[in-house]
A and B are shown apart, each in its own frame.
Chain A
């Protein structure tokens, strides 16, 4: 049993009268601990695929088994629990809550999971030092650089120790050097056993993954293992 098993996934968007087939017949198996990059032209369905994997969106057809369990038929509350406990998501535009400090942003998943304040404190402090944000805990997002923001977002995505980390163009809003740092950070996390799936435009970054999936027109065009 693979960690992720997609079987004939369809995702169709209704745009006025026309239908957009964002994903067509996508079947895919990903083992726990893999490092996968998803590349392809804009509009080829990369984000749609990642959103489905992260349970942020639902397919029109097909099944998605996560760790052996069919998650497409789960109710909203069970899906929320899976997102909370098994999945970490990193967005291109960071998606930090602007009024909250770095610490508070990182603590959000712990808060939603109802974890006690004392444990939250130690875990967030650990994460801050792990991600090189030691002195930035009480800064709000607008007081942080782009790289720091993305590190806060990654810290938040991993604070619940999820089984997989999904990143949609995590370096898209960063300069090259900062992007390298963030990529290295994600790879370190993968090295500790977390499944890492990265959508990227950057061929250089895509090359670094052990497994590279290429998408076109909502289909998987190639899937190469190194």
Chain B
């Protein structure tokens, strides 16, 4: 019986004796595996990006929208509503009575322009309350957030985002300065710490004023949304029921609001992007299959070229098993080396992606790495060994005669 170390050495010599063939086969393998690693890193990076952005909202958050939808998630026809009653500040205040809800923030959003000392720019104005900062995880770099006060009587104060602070005030201190938003004047009482993110609206470019001030500015009495935070994640379903009950009672028994929870939104995005990643992985897997077929052809040529060598080995007393083991080892060596090279290449590519797009956490998921490596090695070994199996059964004289 041949020693396994001798088989390994023999297979290594055989593989390195034909550098071109070996390089070609490894390249095919490497490209296939690298494609799987890179594309799934891209897909999963996008998924993680979205999940992370939503997680910034807080996991016990319930968003109340005016109007009724069928599903409550972000499905088809999600925002088709039938002339709903407006949400009001009083609705929001009523939600505070629920024991399951710790924080409520009414929300008004609109576009306006902001001016200070001759500098002017377009801005998104958010009208809300003190709790908005905690719900959205905002921290102030200077000053403080909106004060606790009656939501119906907003004082003329504003909190501005970090970018606005830089653009309007430069190095000048902003606290205490009077800014103009639309046709009203507000005193700056706080500057938000730079965050750089915030799905949909970039917190660095917001100006936040008391909800009543925003309603006056936009001459509106309704709310865009109500943010409510349940006591904890487990309390979310019960809190949703209570919100519905409270608002139903206030809206003449009609259930004309939609509640969105982060879990529902996240779940939808997670599913969509997860499916996308899988699809992309599937496309990459095709390139792996192509690599496998290439490996089969290359090994077929190798075995054909070496049929007389196989005959010689049999004449010298090699068993069919020993021959199969030699070729199996050779194919395994090539596949593993190619797959590992591909893994390295894929990781390099993913690293490059992360350099180019720092917001995208483009890391290949573990399952993709395992599947990529597994497919490469299994197809390589399988396709590599099949031709050798046949050659190993030939009579030595027939194998020897082949040139």
- Tell me the A residues contacting B by CB distance below 8 Å: 51, 54-58, 76-77, 80-81, 83-85, 89, 91, 95, 97, 99-100, 108-109, 111-114, 116, 156, 160
Contacts and interface: CB of A to CB of B under 8 A. Distances in A.
Contact of B308 (A85, A95, A109): A95
Nearest to A113: B317
Contact of B319 (A80, A89, A99, A108): A80
Contact of A112 (B320, B322, B397): B322
B316 A112 contact: yes
B325 to A, nearest CB: 11
B356 interface: no
B17 A99 contact: yes
A17 B316 CA distance: 34
Given A89-B315, A99-B14, A109-B317, 16 more contacts: A55-B396, A56-B314, A57-B397, A58-B395, A76-B320, A77-B321, A83-B315, A83-B396, A95-B315, A95-B400, A97-B309, A100-B13, A108-B316, A111-B2, A111-B6, A111-B10
A60 to B, nearest CB: 13
The 7 closest A-B pairs by CB, nearest first: A84-B317, A99-B17, A56-B396, A57-B397, A56-B397, A83-B317, A80-B319
A54 B314 CA distance: 11
Interface of B: 1-3, 6, 10, 13-14, 17, 308-309, 312-322, 395-397, 400
A7 B66 CA distance: 102
Nearest to B399: A56
A148 to B, nearest CB: 18
Nearest to B14: A99
23 contacts: A55-B396, A56-B397, A56-B400, A76-B320, A77-B320, A77-B321, A80-B314, A80-B319, A81-B319, A83-B317, A83-B396, A85-B317, A95-B308, A95-B312, A95-B400, A99-B14, A100-B13, A111-B3, A112-B317, A113-B2, A114-B1, A116-B3, A160-B317
Contacts of B400: 56, 91, 95
B358 to A, nearest CB: 50
A111 B321 CA distance: 14
Centre residue among A77, A81, A97 by max chain B CB count within 10 A: A97
Query: Which of A54, A56, A58, A112 has the most C-beta atoms of chain B within 10 angstroms of its own C-beta?
Result: A112
Contact of A84 (B3, B316, B397): B316
B319 A77 contact: yes
Nearest to B321: A77
B232 to A, nearest CB: 68
A213 B377 CA distance: 55
A58 B317 CA distance: 15
A91 B396 CA distance: 13
A116 B317 CA distance: 17
Contacts of B317: 80-81, 83-85, 109, 112-113, 160
Contacts of A55: 396
A54 B319 contact: no
